[in-house]
A and B are shown apart, each in its own frame.
Chain A
Amino acid sequence: MSTVHRLHEQASLGERFKSFALEQVAPHAHAHDSEQTFSVSVIEALKDQGYLGACLPAVAGGLGLDMTAYGSLCEALGHACTSARNLLTVHDMVVHTVAEWGSPAQRDAWLPVLARGERIAAFALTERSAGSDARGIETEARETGSGFVLNGSKSWITFGQIAGLFLVFARTGDAISAFIVESERNGVEVAPIKDMLGARGSMLAQLSLTDCLVPKENMIGRRGKGYPHILTDALTLGRYTVAAGTAGLQRACLEASIGYVRQRKQFGKPIAEHQLIQRKIAAMATDAAAGKLLVEEAGRHLDAGHPRALAQVAMAKLFTTRAAFRAASEAVQIHGANGCSADYPVNRHLRDAKILEIIEGTNEIQEIIISRYA
């Protein structure tokens, strides 16, 4: 395929994703935030479009998008609703892990189910005392004759309330291993977490595992491969989706601000004509363009399997999330009291933007990664 053809195809896909997000997702974003739930109709729409298996090859029931095109999908969803993009992030971190590290039997068993969205998947890594430093995981998987018995508790599990399957990281002796745990297994308990600052439609949950027996066949990859191998791989994908989605949020802040400054009048003219407002818009527009370029560069590194993809993704995540927080803060400032009310989306954007600086590795973790490749 020629470069021109490929660029044309990417642009066309990007437009398709934007239309979908605008028509099928954005109308629900306010309700996701205010009601702290997630619309079933949005999940159905994502399923219908095949977006829950976006990166999988067609033979596994997926769309076979490359990372660049997949980034466009995440950008479009992130523009419409951070929680919708969060759904794709956690689901695809599990899909990716099964595809890359699972045995043929595991791939046959789970990938078509996940790609069709028959089960939503969630990523169960974080614990009260373990997050970016996964070596602190206390959840234990004890080997028995018939499999592994899991005991422990996982915190802040995005979409844990509706997940049909969890990828659980647990200690097997001195090392960490990864397990598929179906939500209906004995010993699995899910408790909703409410009233988070942002991404309030992401249906967070506390996951408790009490003498939960899973068969040996549910261990993904070899024993002890959970950390750092599988985790690093999955988190890199997750961070890329967050970066791409956050570039979408930057665009949302910019568009909302431009729309507002053109119609809001003070001192007899639209505030768009005031130079201090123009400066804010210029900074937001420049940051949005830079964020998009960094995401695209990270996508190209991932597609090429480049050894520096990890750092490139960290840069994209660091820049876009910082810039989105700045943009959302300025968007609220531009909107004045209106921006502080729930009637305007920039209120939600600001709260969501803070979450994005924290999830899938805080920005301080991204800085550590970047510095190690500098």
Chain B
Amino acid sequence: MEVTKEHDKSGNKNTKTGISSFSSKKEDVTAQVKQFLVKATRIEAISDDEELFRPGFLNSLLATQLVMFVEKQFGIEVVGPELSMDNFGTVERIADFVANKLETRESWDPS
């Protein structure tokens, strides 16, 4: 029996994005990550450059959920050394990181 649930190439929980350019990718990631964080924290608004790991904001549970969300939502793999403040410290850095990953993947696999 063929079980049809889609799976991405990295072996993560899945979905796909169909974003065409780097800037639109970044925009899309920014919007989705913000929406996730607003829902998760019940904070009304989060700016792009706000430090997410300042005291009293994201704790380890939420951080894990954020990484899982990013992997699932954008079909990417976050490997050990990539779990850093450089990549996850602000919404802007997350958007850069994810958009770069998506770009790199497309340049290697245009299909």
B3 within 8 A of A: yes
Helix, strand, loop or mixed for chain A's interface?
Answer: helix
Could you say which residues of chain A place their CB within 8 Å of the CB of B7? 103-104
Could you say which residues of chain B place their CB within 8 Å of the CB of A222? 10-12, 77
State which of B47-55, B56-64, B84-92, B99-107 sits at the interface with chain A: B56-64
Could you say which residues of chain A place their CB within 8 Å of the CB of B40? 307-308, 373
User: Which of B3, B13, B61 lies in contact with A369, CB distance below 8 A?
Assistant: B61
User: Which of B39, B64, B68 lies in contact with A308, CB distance below 8 A?
Assistant: B39
Helix, strand, loop or mixed for chain B's interface?
Answer: loop
Q: 8 Å CB contacts to A: which residues of B12-60?
A: 12-13, 36, 39-40, 42, 59
Docked Cα-Cα span, A242 to B36, in Å, equals 27
Docked Cα-Cα span, A229 to B11, in Å, equals 13
B69 within 8 A of A: yes
What's the tally of chain B residues with a CB closer than 8 Å to chain A? Answer: 24
Measured CB to CB, the closest approach of chain A to B64, in angstroms, equals 5
- 1/0 contact string of A95-139 vs chain B (CB within 8 Å): 000011101100110011000000000000000000000000000
Known A222-B11, A308-B40, A369-B61; contact A59-B68, beta-carbon cutoff 8 A: no
User: Which of B36, B42, B68 lies in contact with A229, CB distance below 8 A?
Assistant: B68
4 closest pairs, A vs B, by CB? A307-B40, A107-B3, A60-B3, A228-B64
A-B contact pairs, 25 of them (CB 8 A): A59-B1, A59-B2, A60-B1, A61-B1, A99-B5, A101-B13, A104-B3, A104-B5, A104-B7, A107-B3, A107-B5, A108-B1, A108-B2, A112-B1, A222-B77, A224-B80, A225-B11, A229-B67, A307-B36, A307-B40, A308-B40, A310-B61, A369-B61, A372-B59, A373-B61
